[in-house]
Amino acid sequence: MEPILTINNLTKKFGYLTAVKDLSFTINKGNVYGILGPNGSGKSTTLGIVLNVVNKTSGEFHWFDGNTTTHNALKQVGAIIERPNFYPYMTAEQNLKLVCKIKGVEYKKITEKLEIVGLLDRKDSKFRTYSLGMKQRLAIASALLNDPEILILDEPTNGLDPQGIHQIRQIIKDIANNGTTILLASHLLDEVEKVCTHVVVLRKGEKLYSGRVDEMISSYGFFELKAEKHNDL
Ligand code: ADP
Ligand code: MG
């Protein structure tokens, strides 16, 4: 197995609050790895730490084989941790051309990535005319422009209608099937069950489970969790 991200005994405190507590798990190449937990369980904080936008309190993490600096490793990471933000009066294609310039990527990648997210026929529409789901799909296309080794998504279907949710989940599965590793934070058990191969379950910053999703279903305590707060861990 080829490690993509290794997290060892990671802890993050905000004052007296421990947002992430002694967390360890490893993501290997090809995994679709979920971080599952209710609001405030430390999902976004964990993503922020490994993306170098939040400072850890203690513990460690490393990308790939551990011989790459985080700075260099992050060039091979695509991440969407905020609501998609593009220029409203520019078309989707114009927006992606701008991203290509910034990232030093050839324009020819644009067609390929718009195709993956099903937006090729809408490339000439202005961003402001896009639905929320389309905006999210454009953000995914943008994050894929430099062919990242791993794509990181924080609550990728939040706020979308059922059709939008279904489309995003299908696109994530397609991207994974094409060989890109995925790390996805979600408060929805349903989402993790449908999309992910592996999961770390968090509650108040503490790990309740990590491993394969199919094994989680049969693991001790899982049904208790599920019964306690139906589908919304
Ligand atoms: P999740 O993404 O699972 O909803 P977060 O990682 O955003 O959880 O937050 C975990 C905990 O840390 C929450 O209690 C949240 O209020 C707290 N927290 C997050 N960021 C900060 C911050 N910058 N300052 C203080 N507390 C924070
Ligand atoms: Mg969050």
Cβ atoms 184, 162 nearer than 8 A: no
**Ligand 1: does its nearest atom lie under 6 Å from the Cβ of 45?**
yes
pLDDT in the model for residue 169: 98
Average pLDDT, the chain: 94
Q: Given the cut 0.95, state whether the ipTM is greater than it.
A: yes
- Which residues of 168-229 form beta strands (DSSP E)? 181-186, 198-203, 206-212
**Residue-wise pLDDT tens digits, 78-89:** 999 988 889 999
Between the alpha carbon of residue 120 and those of residues 33, 79, 92, 149, 186, the distances in Å are 28, 21, 9, 23, 28
Rounded to two decimals, the pTM is: 0.94
pLDDT beneath 70: ranges in the chain: 220-233
Tokens found for residue 167: 């489309």
Tokens found for residue 213: 């999703």
Give the C-alpha separation, 79 to 59, whole Å. 22
Cβ atoms 156, 184 nearer than 8 A: yes
Give the C-alpha separation, 171 to 165, whole Å. 10
**Ligand 1: does its nearest atom lie under 6 Å from the Cβ of 40?**
yes
pLDDT in the model for residue 229: 55
49 CA from centroid of ligand 2 (Å)? 13
